[in-house]
Amino acid sequence: MDNESIIRFRIEGGKIKAEIDIDDLVYLFNTHKDTFDGEKPAAIVRQEQKQGFSEAVVERLQEESLNERDCVRWAEPIEDIFDEFLEEDQSFLKYGEIDGFTDKEIKEWEKLL
């Protein structure tokens, strides 16, 4: 299975959309390194329970982070990317220390808080 196409991301209509087939999600679990106990799997998703398994994954993604982050679990990889952007010189970001901010930009930012 081609890992690059398991989760498909696209930008459409002003939204970032991510999509994964339930069968691919089941595949990821069934082939996850921690599901093997020696030469046999320790657990696999029951064929008739793929929908329930998927619903449970979605529920967990919407729970609070298990780490010391103030976010939900699905946000953790996005926050990691944001942290990397802050440390890099990205042309699509305006950095306060380098570029400075106008009073209008500060006021717009304050509205978000």
Residues 44, 88 within the same domain:
no
- How many C-beta atoms lie closer than 10 Å to residue 26's C-beta? 19
Residues 79, 54 within the same domain:
no
Residues 55, 1 within the same domain:
yes
Residues 48, 86 within the same domain:
no
- The pLDDT value given to residue 2: 53
Count up the domains in the chain and report the number. Answer: 2
Residues 51, 92 within the same domain:
no
Domain carrying residue 43: 1-61
pLDDT tens by residue, 16-45: 999 999 999 999 999 988 888 778 888 999
Residues 49, 81 within the same domain:
no
Q: What is the pTM of this model?
A: 0.78
pLDDT tens by residue, 7-17: 999 999 999 99
Of 4, 112, 7, 1, the C-alpha closest to 61 is 7
Give the number of residues written for the chain. 113
pLDDT tens by residue, 59-108: 999 999 988 888 999 999 999 999 999 999 898 998 887 788 888 989 98
